[in-house]
Amino acid sequence: MTMSGAIALTRYLIEEQRAGHINAELRLLVEVVARACKQISVAVGKGALGGVLGDAGSPGEASINVQGEAQKKLDVLSNEILLEANAWGGHLAGLASEEMDASQPIPDTYPHGNYLLLFDPLDGSSNIDVNVSVGTIFSVLRCPEGIATPADAHFLQPGTAQVAAGYCVYGPQTTLVLTVGHGTHVFTLDREVGSFTMTARGIRIPEETKEFAVNMSNQRFWEPPMQAYVGDLLAGKDGPRGKDFNMRWVASMVADVHRILTRGGIFSYPLDSKCAAKGGKLRLMYEANPMSLLVEQAGGAASTGRQRMLEVQPTGLHQRVPVFLGSKREVEAAEGYHHAQGTDAS
């Protein structure tokens, strides 16, 4: 025990194992992901000095991922760090990443474990080159019984099936936020010591809020319920909501969600006519589900606007969904507008 009584991530995980909440394999998995996040944090922190800024691929021929988006060098590097770290420990049966076309089973040269790991290796990558917070998001599922070599279909489990989820935000501080299904806890990286230390246990999101996060430049592309909802927020004290709202939009989901976990608020990336054909902008398996579990475990709510996020039955690894999450009463208010104006738009 340290003099200060500070709880390191390792100690927290051992205590969770002793309490019967996790087994040794899941403990190792979280430790490995946390170690990979430290490596990514170092690479992000070096920035131009590490030669890691800018687009991946060759000049004039940017590398494009399965999402149809140009990859940054740090997207590719972060993906490689997570793949390499998780290949050989024996805790996984397979992995899936926002940056890879298909899922990957663990090679037969290594022992196979019972878990599936999904991740967005570097979320908010449009912010990398401008030195604004970015992060890693991850979700852990059980590999279905009797499956040694999982395929994409084995990953298609609803968010309620997640056994752990978390994100690491690379900002002024490097902060790991984790749930193994027993509350949401915050660990801050002590950069001198090189270990994550618990800095907030069992965080709770205030149920009410006066702060919303949305990309307002998409306003004219939104569906009528979203137009009505944000219209009423903007009307403030004089409108039906009877209070003034403030707006924040970092454009890194990790940073926006971290603010909401810290002081409340509602985050939304709704359906709009630009992304309607794809089902939304944000990815269910790599972004919406892990964030929704963290938010629910902190007493908040997460929804597509029409359905509880964690109950969405996935149909594709890279499936996209509309997202509303954060302070419970505010998410319910946003859902109310969608229910009032019909349920057939998704």
Give the footprint of Mg ion on this chain (CB under 5 A).
120, 123
**3-state SS of the chain: helix, strand, coil percent to 5?**
40, 25, 40
Question: Which C-beta is closer to Mg ion: that of 176 or that of 333?
Answer: 176
Smallest gap from Cβ 266 to Mg ion, in A, equals 19
Local structure of 69: helix, strand or coil = coil
The answer to whether 167 touches 290, Cβ cutoff 8 Å, is: yes
* Alpha carbon distance 215, 248 (integer Å): 9
Task: Tell me the number of residues near ligand AHM by CB under 6 A.
Answer: 11
Question: Which C-beta is closer to ligand AHM: that of 16 or that of 75?
Answer: 75
* Of the residues 125, 175, 268, 304, which one makes contact with ligand AHM according to CB under 6 A: 125
H or E segment to which residue 213 belongs: strand 211-213
Chain CA centroid to CA 179, Å: 12
Smallest gap from Cβ 166 to ligand AHM, in A, equals 15
Smallest gap from Cβ 77 to Mg ion, in A, equals 15
Question: Which C-beta is closer to Mg ion: that of 71 or that of 114?
Answer: 71
x-or-dash pattern for ligand AHM, window 144-183, by CB under 6 A?
----------------------------------------
Instruction: Name, in order, each residue with C-beta under 8 angstroms of 105's C-beta and a sequence gap of 6 or more.
Output: 93, 94, 112, 149, 150, 151
The strand pairing partners of 94, in sequence order, are 105, 116
Q: Which of residues 216-275 bind ligand AHM (CB under 6 A)?
A: 251-253, 269
Q: Which two tokens stand for residue 135?
A: 């992060």
Phi/psi class of residue 10: alpha, beta or left (left: φ > 0; alpha: ψ in -120 to 50)? alpha
Smallest gap from Cβ 294 to Mg ion, in A, equals 15
* Alpha carbon distance 116, 93 (integer Å): 6
With binding defined as CB under 6 A, does residue 126 bind ligand AHM?
yes
- 68 to each of 77, 100, 155, 284, how far by Cα in Å? 18, 11, 21, 16
The answer to whether 140 touches 162, Cβ cutoff 8 Å, is: yes
With binding defined as CB under 6 A, does residue 79 bind ligand AHM?
no
Q: Which of residues 87-116 bind ligand AHM (CB under 6 A)?
A: none
Place of tokens 């770290």: 85
Contact of residue 251 among ligand AHM, Mg ion, none (CB under 5-8 Å per partner type): ligand AHM
With binding defined as CB under 6 A, does residue 313 bind ligand AHM?
no
* Of the residues 120, 211, 272, 330, which one makes contact with ligand AHM according to CB under 6 A: 120
Smallest gap from Cβ 122 to ligand AHM, in A, equals 7
* Of the residues 124, 264, 314, 326, which one makes contact with ligand AHM according to CB under 6 A: 124
Smallest gap from Cβ 248 to ligand AHM, in A, equals 12
With binding defined as CB under 6 A, does residue 211 bind ligand AHM?
no
Local structure of 236: helix, strand or coil = helix
* Of the residues 131, 149, 215, 343, which one makes contact with ligand AHM according to CB under 6 A: 215
The answer to whether 247 touches 211, Cβ cutoff 8 Å, is: yes
Question: Which C-beta is closer to ligand AHM: that of 176 or that of 253?
Answer: 253
Smallest gap from Cβ 328 to ligand AHM, in A, equals 21
The answer to whether 144 touches 105, Cβ cutoff 8 Å, is: no
* Alpha carbon distance 216, 317 (integer Å): 28
Contact of residue 215 among ligand AHM, Mg ion, none (CB under 5-8 Å per partner type): ligand AHM
The answer to whether 322 touches 273, Cβ cutoff 8 Å, is: no
Smallest gap from Cβ 120 to ligand AHM, in A, equals 5
Q: Which residues bind ligand AHM (CB under 6 A)?
A: 69, 120, 123-126, 215, 251-253, 269
